[in-house]
Structure 1
Amino acid sequence: MKRRERTRQLIELGGLVVKAGLVELADDDRAVILGLLVEAAARLRTEDREQALTLWRRRGKRAFAQDAVA
């Protein structure tokens, strides 16, 4: 991945963390935010992977749709 593409990806991913409200909810504690992400990654390594992906995908699509309306 080229440097410019990587930078764009990182900015977009950071935007998702903000959009989800994690920065405010965690009082901008980066250890908490990383812990949440590590926990999600651990869940994706279990037998419940597909179920979790389906649930999170639906919630994410709803959140994007709400932003489009607002």
Structure 2
Amino acid sequence: MKRRERTRQLIELGGLIAKADLIELTGDDRAVILGLLVEAAATLRGEAREQQLLLWRRRGRRAFDSDLSGDAMSKP
């Protein structure tokens, strides 16, 4: 991956962290944010991988579709 592409990818991923309100909800505690991501990665290594991906994909699409307004991220 070229440097410019990698930079864009990192900016987009940071934007998703912000859109999910994780910066505010964690008090910008990067150890907590990393812990959340490590936990998600561990879940994806488990037996429930496909089911979890389906759930997270649905929630993500719903959040995008609702324009990421207010409590769109907190609805199950």
TM over 0.5: yes
What amino acid maps onto 2:53 in structure 1? L
Query: Percent identity of the aligned residues?
Result: 77
How far off its partner does 1:68 sit? Answer: 7.2
Higher helix share: 1
> RMSD in angstroms over aligned alpha carbons?
1.3
Task: Tell me, in whole angstroms, the C-alpha distance in 1 between the residues paired with 2:5 and 2:52.
Answer: 28
Correspondence for 1:3: 3
Q: Which runs of 5+ in 1 are unaligned?
A: none
User: Which contiguous aligned blocks of 4+ residues in structure 1 show a shift greater than 4 angstroms?
Assistant: none
Correspondence for 1:59: 59
Structure number with higher relative contact order (C-alpha < 8 Å, ≥ 6 residues apart): 2
How far off its partner does 1:5 sit? Answer: 0.2
> What are the within-5 Å matches in structure 2 for residues 1-70 of structure 1?
1-67=1-67
Q: Which runs of 5+ in 2 are unaligned?
A: 70-76
Task: Tell me, in whole angstroms, the C-alpha distance in 1 between the residues paired with 2:41 and 2:17.
Answer: 15
